[in-house]
Amino acid sequence: MNSNIQQLVSANKAIPAAWRVFAIASIAIFMSSLDTTILYAGFNNILSSFPDSTAADLSWAMSGYSIVYAAMLIPAGGIADKFGRKKIFTLGTLLFISASFACGAAPSVSWLIVARVFQSIGACLLTPSALALVLEAFPRERRSVIMGAWGAVGALAAALGPGIGSWIIDVGGWQWAFFINIPIGLFCIWQSLAVLHESVQPRAHMRLDLVGMLQLVVGVGAIAFAIVEMKSPAWNSYELTAILMLGLVLLASYIPWAKFYPEPLFDLSLFKNKTFLFANLAGITFGIAFSIMFFSFFFWMKNIWHLSQSLAGASVMPGPLMVVPTALVAGKIASKVGHRPLLITGTMTYALSGLWFLMVPDTTPNYLATWLPGLLLSGISVGLVMPSLSAAAMFGLPQKDYAVGSAINHAARQIGTVIGVSITVLFLGKALLKPGDFIPTYSIHIALALITAMLCIPINTHPKQLANLTQ
């Protein structure tokens, strides 16, 4: 009895320290998430700064980041486990803010794309190490609540990104959308030196799977290229079909490679866990739908309703702001009933939000009546789905796989982002837009939401399941 009391007292004392770890890790994740949403908001402004470039060219500043992020994130998780999560977290943050400066100083789209690649490597290093530090700081039974709060951090960045980014772009130019990362990152590094404790998961051998990384980068890149260039006169349908098939073949070829290579990019045995498998498949489809929806918002506000940059950014904020409280409540509910009910409810609601945007808004700006209801509906949906998918993917994984499992989950979402951006640029990346141009994007949004709902059915994270795993 006395031993149990002592353990309880010790656990309660450890919680404030754990929340300090959470705060520092959240600052870095907030910074990297903020940068993504700012770029959505500033896409048209950046494009106008480089008149010799097309929307398809500039899309690679977004897609190149996401592709490299998806490929590098998985080995980065292993690097963090082996060499120290605090050390890699600090290094990643430093690289991210250095590359942010290079992005802001870019004299051309090509320079911007290269700088974004290095920025993504920094984000790769800090993201899985940050989550691994947080998960290790808290007891296992609080994971659903913590993951809900973790998802809310990214959601808050998504909510503030359009407004902050649009205001920064209006005041100082799009370059400051990147320069803003520098003071945030320096503060994060300063605090991490005092607050974070080193954490390692030793590995006897570790080699970078360069072939596996190349398969993922070229495979996803080929698929994105085929989608973006689908309407380009420079490529015919046969050539683009061949490029698309090449991408699919390269991705599929990873399966035999992973079975042959001693230390592949990621171990396929992780996917024997049904919940992990379907949570990541759902992460891809929902990631496509989310990036299509979010990117399309700015095209509508700027090109159909002709709002200023600041108004366009502010008009998008209420939806993501709904994600934060929803994610926090969802985490508490999931700890009692599991994530499946939240995921099914959220994805079906997300389909309804797509239907709203498809059917209701028109060329006459009427924000409160025709836009805000759909925006709030989508925000609630994302709050139910995104953090729940992240938590479900990590559910049941042993501690040694936290960083790698988190990396795979983030990579799946980034692959979805690449495809979603490519689809959006394909349909909306032109000078003159009309409401009918948005029909394909919102139709795809609805279809993918329904597909995600079906993929969530096999997910089982009920607390009883956790009890079985720990026995």
Give the pLDDT of residue 63. 87
For every one of its 471 residues, what pLDDT tens digit does the chain have, with 9 covering 90 and above? 444 444 434 444 456 778 888 888 888 888 887 777 777 888 888 888 898 888 888 988 888 888 888 888 777 777 777 788 888 999 999 999 999 999 999 999 999 999 999 998 998 888 878 888 887 777 776 766 777 777 677 767 766 777 788 888 888 888 988 998 999 999 889 888 877 777 666 555 556 788 988 898 899 889 988 998 887 777 888 999 999 999 999 999 999 998 888 888 778 888 888 999 999 999 999 999 999 998 999 899 989 999 988 888 889 888 888 887 888 888 889 888 899 999 999 999 999 999 999 999 999 999 999 999 999 999 999 999 988 998 888 887 777 777 678 778 888 888 898 899 999 999 998 878 999 999 999 999 999 999 999 999 999 887 766 555 544
Residue 243, number of CB atoms within 10 A of its CB: 18
Contact 338, 465 (CB under 8 A): yes
Of 285, 284, 295, residue with least CA distance to 37? 295
Length of the chain equals 471
Two tokens, residue 459: 């997910």
pLDDT value at residue 168: 86
d(CA 119, CA 460): 36
* Cβ within 8 Å of residue 260, ≥6 positions away: none
Other beta carbons within 10 angstroms of residue 140's beta carbon come to 11
